[in-house]
């Protein structure tokens, strides 16, 4: 990452944003960073030769939860976490704050859902026990249909599955009793979702692992991972177990170039909205919200009364490049701003105080994986597409159990040690990922015009593994 360019870009793109706090050169600018209660501690860079029982690469949710559970399960083992930037720098510190049971693959979702739902409650319990105030509230998730085509698709899914936890179809009046989304024709409610401030969770978790004796190094970029050895520009860590938790940046590591593609998701936040606006919108509880369009959007009501709205649409960059400048895309921000006004006319003129974005990791078959080989001591987890807040906690706990050789219901889940199919070489990868993005937007536009489900949308959904029951699995129904 080029920190200086990040600074300049942030200044240029800041517009109406508030002044940045002094620690923001270490973390990307976002509403969540601004709302941290104080500067996160600056941690040392790893220099020279080190030895640990376990070395975790990456201090996002995956790496931190792995370290957290490992420290509890094997208190005698020395654990070192090495992070290229700062704890919570990646998607974990800047996402949409949905902590859901959504799993992005149709095939595995039903078997993953109970474990993910339990993980949401576990995150609530751990944050309480560790004193991590991350504005956690488990008020569920509402997917509304805002066009006849969306309603037709959602209703078909409900007819096939009964809806999440058997909740069934909510008609327009039932939706309006919870929230007034312009043009909502009905929807589906999933109780298995919480909302939180991701940066507060990431920072709190980093401090919790340190309290448990984990050594956490920042500004320590890993160049290569091998069995027993983690190589950095500034030093080396010899470790019996090496866990890679590098998500969207994975393609930079030798040997992992085609494992995950970085796909960008962007977010805007309004100012705190006045009581009259909330009176018009409703949305008293903090359930998360989206509609059933193909090009995903996701929203939450923050603890301080703002709307945070995120969505896809930013391009995939040739060669799986990840750059700070890619976090900001004027066309996507404008689209989000329009979407905000379309869904909530009462908030159409709200001031946008924050705009940010970041990369997430997408595997070729849209199915996340947890892997550990006791023979080599190498492990990894990721590829959550856009549904990684709860899944990374489940992955971290599972990895810790695999490392200590403890069999649990989690270590038997179908994403554990499943084979991974690499992405195509370029330029096919670039063509395929961007065609999917453009196809999803075109399908939405067509559905808005015709009112009927678009065949193109069906093709895009099939290609991305999205044709699933609500709350069961569909990424079109979830955040990112
Ligand atoms: C804008 C956005 C919105 C999202 N919204 C949601 C949401 O609402 N709900 C949801 O469930 N999911 C959401 N996601 C996805 C979710 O945030 C991620 O799936 C999850 O945070 C992944 O956690 P992670 O620890 O695996 O990866 P990350 O948080 O990305 O962490 C990876 C870390 O590894 C470090 N790293 C990488 N390479 C190296 C290296 N070579 N050496 C050392 N360190 C390295 C990085 O600096 C980074 O800190 C969103 C993602 C984005 C970008």
Number of H helices, E strands in the chain: 13, 18
> How far, in Å, is the centroid of ligand 1 from the Cα of 176?
34
CATH 3.30.70.1560 given to domain 3-96+198-261+366-404: no
What kind and span of H or E run contains 467? none
Cβ contact 102:402 at 8 Å: no
CB atoms within 10 A of CB 210: 17
116-153: pLDDT as tens digits: 999 999 999 999 999 999 999 999 999 999 999 999 99
Tell me how far CA of residue 386 lies from CA of 40, 111, 170, 294, 465, in angstroms: 25, 19, 25, 14, 13
Return residue ranges of the chain for CATH 3.30.9.10. Answer: 138-195+263-364+426-477
Q: Which CATH superfamily is domain 138-195+263-364+426-477 in?
A: D-Amino Acid Oxidase, subunit A, domain 2 (3.30.9.10)
Every domain of the chain with CATH number 3.50.50.60 lies at 3-96+198-261+366-404
Distance (Å) from CA 203 to ligand 1 centroid:
14
Distance (Å) from CA 91 to ligand 1 centroid: 3
Can you give the pLDDT at residue 79?
98
Res 242: pLDDT: 98
469 vs 327, residue with greater confidence: 327
Residue 472: per-residue pLDDT:
32
Mean pLDDT across the chain: 90
Strand ranges (E), 58-211: 79-82, 98-100, 141-145, 169-171, 186-190, 193-195
pLDDT band at 446 (very low <50, low <70, confident <90, very high): confident
User: pLDDT > 90: what percent of the chain?
Assistant: 79
Higher local confidence (pLDDT), 11 or 80 = 80
pLDDT grade for 17, boundaries at 50, 70 and 90: very low
State the average pLDDT over residues 198-211.
Answer: 98
pTM beyond 0.75, yes or no: yes
Ligand 1 binding pocket (C-beta < 6 A) is 57-63, 82-85, 89-92, 94-98, 100, 221-222, 245-249, 253, 265, 267, 298, 310, 357-360, 382, 384, 386-389, 392, 479-480
Residues 460-479 pLDDT 10s: 766 665 543 333 333 334 55
Beta strands in 276-435 (DSSP E): 288-291, 297-301, 307-311, 352-363, 369-373, 378-382
**Does residue 459 register a pLDDT over 90?**
no
The whole-number average pLDDT for the span 236-253 is 98
């Amino acid at each position: 990452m080029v920190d200086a360019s990040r600074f300049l870009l942030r200044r240029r793109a800041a517009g109406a944003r508030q002044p940045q706090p002094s620690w923001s050169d270490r973390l990307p600018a976002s509403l969540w960073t601004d709302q941290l209660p104080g500067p996160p501690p600056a941690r040392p860079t790893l220099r020279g030769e080190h030895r640990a029982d376990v070395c975790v690469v990456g201090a996002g949710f995956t790496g931190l939860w792995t370290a957290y559970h490992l420290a509890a399960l094997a208190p005698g083992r020395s654990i070192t976490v090495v992070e290229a930037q700062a704890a919570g720098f990646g998607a974990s510190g800047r996402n949409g704050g949905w902590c859901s049971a959504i799993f992005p693959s149709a095939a595995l979702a039903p078997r993953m859902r109970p474990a993910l739902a339990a993980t949401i409650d576990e995150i609530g319990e751990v944050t309480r026990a560790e004193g991590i105030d991350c504005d956690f509230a488990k008020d569920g998730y509402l997917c509304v249909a805002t066009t006849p085509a969306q309603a037709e698709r959602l209703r078909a899914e409900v007819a096939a599955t009964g809806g999440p936890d058997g909740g069934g179809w909510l008609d327009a009046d039932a939706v309006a009793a919870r929230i007034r989304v312009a043009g909502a024709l009905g929807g589906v409610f999933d109780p298995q979702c919480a909302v939180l401030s991701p940066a507060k969770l990431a920072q709190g978790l980093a401090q919790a692992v340190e309290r448990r004796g984990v050594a956490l190094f920042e500004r320590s970029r890993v160049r290569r991972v091998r069995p027993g050895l983690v190589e950095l520009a500034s030093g080396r860590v010899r470790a019996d177990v090496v866990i890679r938790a590098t998500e969207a940046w994975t393609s930079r590591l030798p040997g992992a170039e085609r494992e995950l593609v970085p796909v960008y998701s962007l977010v805007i936040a309004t100012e705190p909205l006045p009581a009259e606006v909330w009176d018009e919108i409703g949305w008293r509880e903090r359930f998360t919200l989206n509609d059933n369009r193909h090009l995903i959007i996701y929203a939450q009501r923050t603890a301080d009364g703002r709307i945070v709205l995120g969505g896809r649409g930013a391009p995939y960059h040739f060669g799986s490049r990840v750059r700070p400048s890619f976090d900001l895309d004027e066309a996507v921000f404008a689209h989000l701003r329009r979407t905000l006004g379309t869904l909530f006319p009462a908030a159409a003129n709200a001031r946008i105080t924050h705009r940010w974005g970041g990369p997430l990791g997408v595997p070729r078959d849209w199915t996340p994986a947890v892997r550990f080989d006791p023979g080599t001591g190498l492990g990894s987890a990721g590829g959550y597409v856009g549904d990684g807040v709860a899944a990374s906690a489940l992955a971290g706990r599972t990895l810790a159990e695999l490392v200590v050789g403890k069999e649990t219901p989690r270590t038997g889940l179908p994403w554990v040690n499943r084979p991974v199919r690499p992405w195509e070489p370029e330029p096919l990868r670039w063509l395929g990922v961007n065609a999917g993005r453009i196809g999803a937007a075109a399908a939405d536009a067509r559905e808005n015009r015709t009112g009927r489900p678009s065949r193109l949308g069906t093709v895009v959904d099939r290609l991305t593994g999205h044709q699933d029951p609500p709350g069961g699995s569909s990424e079109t129904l979830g955040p990112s």
